[in-house]
Structure formats: C-alpha cells, structure tokens
C-alpha cells in the first residue's frame, strides 16, 4: 500500500471519530438542555472565594458577587497570605455588606486546597457555590440560576466559565479551547460519567467535599475540583447551561502564563478512570492526527484535495456545533480564526503531552 493511501485511510478514520464526537455533543445538549424551572426550594448559599494577592481583581469583581439577587446568601472571602492591599480593601467592604465575611488564612501551603477547606469549615450554610477572584457574573441572577438544581436534591452542580480577552490569537485559541473543554465535560455529565468541572463556577453540598478522601490531592496544587467530580461521578450531578449562570474571566495575556495555568490543570488527569482517559484521549488524538495528516498530505499530493475537503468539513461542523452550543465562549470568533487555531493544535497537544509526563507544579 502506497504511503499516500495510508495517509488517506488514517485521515478517514480520524474524520469519522471527530464526526462521532461532535454529533455526540450536539445530541446530548439537544436532549438534555432544558430551561430551568422555578423552584420553591431556595436553600441558603455560601459563596466561597479563595484569593492570594488579588486586590485588583477583587475590586473589579467582588461587588458583582455581593450584589446578587437571592433570598439568603453569604460570601466568604478567604485571604490566603496576601501581601498586597487585599485586607484593607475587604475591611472597607465589610462596612457596606453585612453578608460578606473575611477570613485571613495564614497557612504556608503553596496550593489553595487548605484555604478552601478552612473556608468551607467556616461557612454558615451547607450549600456551597465556588468562584475565583478573577471571575465575575454578568447577571445578578447568577446564584439563583446556578443553585436552582439544589431544589431537586442534586449533590454537585457544574457550570460554565467562558473567557474574554483581546482580539489576539492567544485569546481566540483560549476561548475556543475552553468551549471545546466545556462541551466535553458537559456531554459526559449528561451521559452520567462526569470527570471534571471548573472550580470558578461549581456548587456542591459541603459535606460531600469535606468527606472526600483528601489523599487524592497529595502533592497537587490544582485540579481538586476535577478529582472531586471524577471520584463522585455516581452522585446526582447536574449541569447548568443558562447564560445568566455563567461566570466570566479574562484569558491569559501571554503564552507562558497560559501554559503555566494549563500545567496545573492537566497534572491531575492521570487520576481519571480509564473510561474518562479513553474518552479524552480519542478526542484529542483524532483531532491532532487529522490536522497532522492534512499537513502531511501536502507532500504526497495523491489525496490532497480529498483530505483537504474532509479537514475543512470537520472544521465547519465543529464551528457550527460550537456556535450553537457554546456561543457565549466564542465572542466574535470567525471560521478563519478557528482554522488557524487548528494549526496551533499541532504544537499545543505535544506540549500538553510533555506536561502530562512532567512533575506537577509546586505553586499556585
């Protein structure tokens, strides 16, 4: 068999795998995403935010959290050894917002897990909603929409966290990747094999987290939320797709900062179940190989135009599905920009593979 024939056959296999995934995402969302129904059960909520040297972000974002419309809630700000003006700013807010509570946490741990646990133990209420200092809700109904499933006895609630940023290639790539990650974990949740959520927009019952075996977090400074969701996939987990329930944050402005953050997140993926690993590996593997094979086909030429059509068709399908299911993530992203990001993935996936094989980072 000629090399060109092998390239074509492999391309066809990767195309069909990608088509299966994007069809799966579309099917699961169309089947499971329904408007949230009003509930008469609105449990009091503790919103927990852990911060270290985040004064600027807290000044911009914390008031939006404090001014939510919800019958009864508190905001717990855990200041993890900040050396900036965080304490002074929060003490100013304490005079204005009685439902804001400030905790100065002095533990020298490099990760935020201990700060989170300390914050949870000091919460007044049993239902917890998490976010980060660099995040903000666009709606005053964020708590209401995110926590509505608690009224139906749900244990863990997963939300969406789109990225905003400048019109740069890094921002576009980050937004598109965040949208793809969202579709993957959302579809998995709909199919009852949840493996992750984003800690900047997640809710759960306090006892579920505190009773989880913390040994799984040893030597890790990130990914606690992923391990928690993955290990508790058998619980009742709900995903909220309402735009009012989304929590926004700014994309990283440099590739070095982006991959520093990415390293923290991917370091926990070895601890997923085999089903979860296969689900993720086949998607990313077929995605990367399809682009690589398209590039290789330039050399052999035999099936270049056929492979180009398949590659373009897959890109158009993914663009359509992303726009339909994750429009809030994509800002004004165009099909051309998506095509360019496909080439970035040629380098991106090997870098992620390197981080998977390297030691977890030591500081958050």
Cα distances (Å, whole numbers) of residue 321 to 5, 73, 315, 351: 30, 36, 10, 26
Cα 265 to Cα 5: distance, rounded to the nearest angstrom: 38
Longest dimension (CA), the chain: 77
Per-residue pLDDT tens for 101-131? Answer: 999 988 766 667 788 888 999 999 999 999 9
- Residue 264: what pLDDT? 72
Question: Would you say 234 and 155 are in contact if contact means Cβ atoms under 8 Å apart?
Answer: no
The model's pLDDT over 137-151, given as tens digits with 9 standing for 90+, comes to 999 999 999 999 998
Is residue 233 very low, low, confident or very high in pLDDT (cuts 50, 70, 90)? confident
CA distance 34 to 213: 34
Q: In 77-204, where does DSSP find H-type helix?
A: 86-94, 113-121, 142-147, 169-190
In angstroms, the CA 363 to CA 154 distance is: 33
Q: Is pLDDT above 60 for 158?
A: yes
Tell the CATH superfamily of the 43-181+194-254 domain.
Answer: Spore Coat Polysaccharide Biosynthesis Protein SpsA; Chain A (3.90.550.10)
Q: What is the mean pLDDT of residues 315-323?
A: 95
Residue reference for tokens 């402005």? 253
Which has the minimum average pLDDT: 33-42, 237-246, 286-295, 310-319?
33-42
Domain span(s) for CATH 3.90.550.10 in the chain: 43-181+194-254
- Residue whose token pair is 């019952």: 205
Give me the residue label for tokens 């995110």.
146
CA proximity to 287, closest of 14, 9, 10: 14
Please state whether 248 falls in left (phi above 0), alpha (psi between -120 and 50) or beta: beta
Does residue 299 register a pLDDT over 90? no
Q: What are 295's two structure tokens?
A: 């590039």
Q: Residue 22's pLDDT band (boundaries 50, 70, 90)?
A: very high
Tell me which residue has tokens 């970035």: 344
Lowest mean pLDDT among 26-30, 256-260, 359-363: 359-363
Confidence label for 230 from pLDDT (cuts 50, 70 and 90): confident
Q: What is the mean pLDDT of residues 21-50?
A: 85
Task: Write down the pLDDT at residue 363.
Answer: 56
pLDDT recorded at residue 19: 96
Say what the pLDDT of residue 185 is. 94
Between the two ends of the chain, the Cα-to-Cα distance in Å is 51
Residue 85: pLDDT above 60? yes
How large is the average pLDDT for residues 350-361? 73
Phi and psi for 202 in degrees, rounded to 5? -150, 145
Pick from 17-21, 259-263, 308-312: least confident: 259-263
Q: How far apart are alpha carbons 45 and 97 in whole angstroms?
A: 16
- For residue range 169-207, what is the model confidence (pLDDT) as tens digits? 899 999 999 999 999 999 999 998 898 998 899 999 998
Rounded Cα distance, 102 and 106, in Å: 13
Do residues 5 and 301 touch, judged by C-beta distance below 8 A?
no
């Amino acid at each position: 068999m000629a090399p060109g024939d092998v390239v074509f056959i492999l391309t066809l296999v990767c195309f069909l795998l990608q088509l299966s995934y994007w069809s799966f995402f579309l099917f699961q969302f169309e089947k499971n995403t329904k408007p949230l129904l009003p509930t008469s059960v609105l449990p009091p909520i503790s919103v927990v935010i852990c911060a270290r040297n985040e004064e600027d972000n807290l000044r911009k974002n914390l008031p939006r959290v404090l001014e939510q419309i919800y019958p009864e809630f508190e905001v717990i700000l855990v200041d993890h050894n900040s050396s900036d003006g965080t304490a002074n700013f929060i003490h100013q807010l304490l005079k204005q917002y009685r439902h804001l509570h400030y905790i100065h946490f002095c533990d020298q741990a490099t990760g935020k897990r201990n700060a989170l646990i300390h914050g949870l133990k000091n919460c007044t209420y049993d239902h917890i909603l998490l976010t980060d200092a660099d995040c903000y809700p666009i709606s005053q109904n964020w708590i209401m929409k995110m926590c509505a499933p608690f009224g139906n006895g749900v244990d863990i609630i997963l939300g969406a966290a789109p990225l905003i940023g400048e019109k740069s290639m890094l921002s576009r790539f980050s937004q598109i990747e965040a949208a793809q990650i969202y579709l993957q974990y959302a579809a998995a949740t709909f199919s009852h094999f949840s493996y992750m959520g984003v800690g900047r927009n997640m809710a759960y019952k306090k006892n579920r987290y505190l009773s989880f075996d913390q040994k799984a977090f040893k030597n890790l400074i990130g990914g606690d939320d992923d391990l928690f969701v993955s290990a508790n996939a058998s619980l009742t987990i709900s995903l909220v797709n309402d735009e009012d329930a989304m929590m926004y944050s700014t994309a990283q402005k440099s590739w070095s900062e982006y991959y520093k953050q990415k390293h923290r997140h991917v370091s926990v993926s070895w601890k997923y179940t085999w089903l979860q690993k296969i689900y993720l590996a086949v998607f990313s593997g077929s995605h990367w190989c399809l682009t690589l094979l398209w590039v290789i086909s330039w050399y052999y030429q035999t099936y270049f135009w056929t492979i180009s059509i398949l590659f373009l068709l897959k890109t158009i399908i993914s663009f359509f599905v992303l726009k339909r299911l994750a429009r809030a993530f994509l800002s004004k992203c165009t099909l051309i920009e998506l095509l360019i990001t496909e080439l970035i993935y040629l380098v991106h996936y090997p870098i992620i593979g390197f981080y998977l094989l390297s030691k977890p980072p030591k500081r958050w």
